[in-house]
Amino acid sequence: MIMSILETKKLSRSYGTFKAVDGLDLNIEAGEIFALLGPNGSGKSTTIKMLTTLLTPTSGEAFINGYNIKTRTDDIRRIIGYVPQMISADGSLTAYENLMLFAKLFDIPRRERKQRVEEALKFMGLEEVMYKLVKEYSGGMIRRLEIAQSTIHRPLILFLDEPTTGLDPIGRNVVWEHVSALRKQYGTTIIMTTHLMEEADGCDRIALMTRGKLAIIGSPKDLKDSLKKENATLEDVFIHYTTDNLTESGNNFHNVSIERKTTGRLG
């Protein structure tokens, strides 16, 4: 039997009476590159925050490497890395100094720190700029530094919240290459949120969320095949599963047709 490295059972989180994540069931295998996809406000970041122990679930359960996220937060923090949406590197320090801070934070033994920091910077392609101030870095370089920071302790799972937002296609590709290399070299499981179909298409599996619930889960091919439409794209999948049924929305067919007739008369 293949062991899941991450499992959630009816995982839920409410803000007041609003259910941001509503009964999420997920199983993620070790070494997968897994994407959480969905419209703004569908609950992706809330899910990541619960799984990284930053937010307590309202109900349901989740296990990471067998540890319960409610009771084993310290154990979980030791085996995960997290790159949030917001910038987490200090611009007034060099990359080397930023990474040294994280090496101390993660209790890397003093005698190993220098070597581990240099290795991590090299792995992310930053060895030539490691003594430059981070405020002089491009967006892509900052992202790679943040990934180096969050993986200095060689976590089993790396969580990335929209890792390539705001980057140009070249910066995006470089970040993506380095993320893939982490999986290849260290077997790191990667769980990311993204709004980019192209990025999701490169993942092993995708969980498409809408209104806090799982709409569909599977490989990019499974998702496209589910539409039973020739040459379906992930964008088609996204629209199909996340756009409100016309009869459910305020702008239903009846309203739209009345509006169009009125527009026609005005024209």
Among 5, 8, 37, 38, binds ligand ATP (CB under 6 A): 38
C-beta closer to ligand ATP: residue 43 or 81: 43
Q: Which segment (37-45, 58-66, 176-184, 248-256) binds ligand ATP by CB under 6 A?
A: 37-45
CB of 162 to ligand ATP, least distance (A): 7
Listed ranges 36-44, 97-105, 124-132, 174-182: which one lies at the site for ligand ATP (CB under 6 A): 36-44
Return the DSSP state at 250. S
Out of 5, 20, 126, 142, point to the residue binding ligand ATP (CB under 6 A): 20
Q: Using CB under 6 A, which residues numbered 39 to 68 contact ligand ATP? A: 40-46
CA angle centred on 202, ends 121 and 192, rounded to 5°: 60
Q: Return d(Cα 125, Cα 116) in angstroms, integer.
A: 14
Q: How far is the CB of 44 from ligand ATP (least distance, A)?
A: 4
What whole-number distance in Å separates Cα of residue 61 and Cα of residue 127?
A: 41
Closest distance to ligand ATP from the beta carbon of 39 (Å): 7
Shortest Å, Cβ 16 to ligand ATP:
7
Contact of 212 with 43, CB cutoff 8 Å: yes
Q: Which is nearer to ligand ATP, 45 or 53 (CB)?
A: 45
| Minimum distance of ligand ATP from residue 209's CB (angstroms) | 7
3-class state of residue 226 by DSSP: coil
- The pair of three-digit structure tokens given for residue 124, joined into one six-digit string: 């992310």
Binding part of the chain for ligand ATP, among 38-46, 100-108, 225-233, 243-251 by CB under 6 A, reads 38-46
Q: How far is the CA of 50 from the CAs of 6, 143, 171, 235, in angstroms? A: 12, 22, 29, 27
Nearer to ligand ATP, 11 or 156 (CB): 11
Residue 13 is inside which H or E element, if any?
strand 4-15
Q: Is 267 exposed, middle or buried (0-12, 13-18, 19+ CB in 10 A)?
A: exposed
53 within 8 A of 69, measured Cβ to Cβ: yes
Sign (positive or negative) of CA dihedral 155, 159, 165, 170:
positive
Minimum CB distance to ligand ATP smaller for 141 or for 192: 192
By CB under 6 A, how many residues form the interface with ligand ATP? Answer: 10
15 near ligand ATP, judged by CB under 6 A: yes
Which stretches of the chain bind ligand ATP, using CB under 6 A?
15, 20, 38, 40-46
